[in-house]
């Protein structure tokens, strides 16, 4: 019974061609990351801000919840 239900779905998967994704990356110097690191100080600031915000988010959320519960 289950195979009779699943058979049309499997046929439709086989019939529709999947989109093939192609990616071409030129192997040049300073082209191996999705961001620019020409200015090291700006990169350091951005990375510290990004990682710091990710690290601080749970603490900020818990402090907010504790304050909300005590009010």
Task: Give the integer Cα–Cα distance in Å for 49 and 55.
Answer: 10
pLDDT tens, residue by residue, 33-43: 777 788 899 99
Tokens 């504790």, residue?
66
Mean pLDDT of 7-36: 70
What are 9's two structure tokens?
């779905």
Domain count, the chain: 1
Task: Give the integer Cα–Cα distance in Å for 17 and 11.
Answer: 12
Tokens 């304050």, residue?
67
Is 51 a domain residue? yes
pTM to 2 decimals? 0.50
Is 45 a domain residue? yes
Which residue range(s) make up the domain with 56?
A: 41-71
What are 48's two structure tokens?
């510290």
Q: Does residue 30 come out as left (phi exceeding 0), alpha (psi in the -120 to 50 range) or beta?
A: left
Is 14 a domain residue? no
pLDDT tens, residue by residue, 1-16: 667 777 777 676 666 5
- pLDDT given for residue 65 in this prediction: 97
Is 65 a domain residue? yes
Is 69 a domain residue? yes
């Amino acid at each position: 019974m289950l195979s009779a239900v699943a058979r049309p779905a499997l046929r439709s998967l086989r019939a529709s061609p999947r989109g093939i994704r192609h990616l071409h990356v030129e192997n040049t110097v300073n082209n191996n990351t999705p961001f620019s690191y020409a200015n090291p100080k700006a990169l350091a600031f951005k990375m510290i801000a990004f990682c710091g915000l990710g690290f601080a988010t749970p603490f900020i959320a818990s402090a907010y919840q504790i304050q909300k519960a005590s009010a």
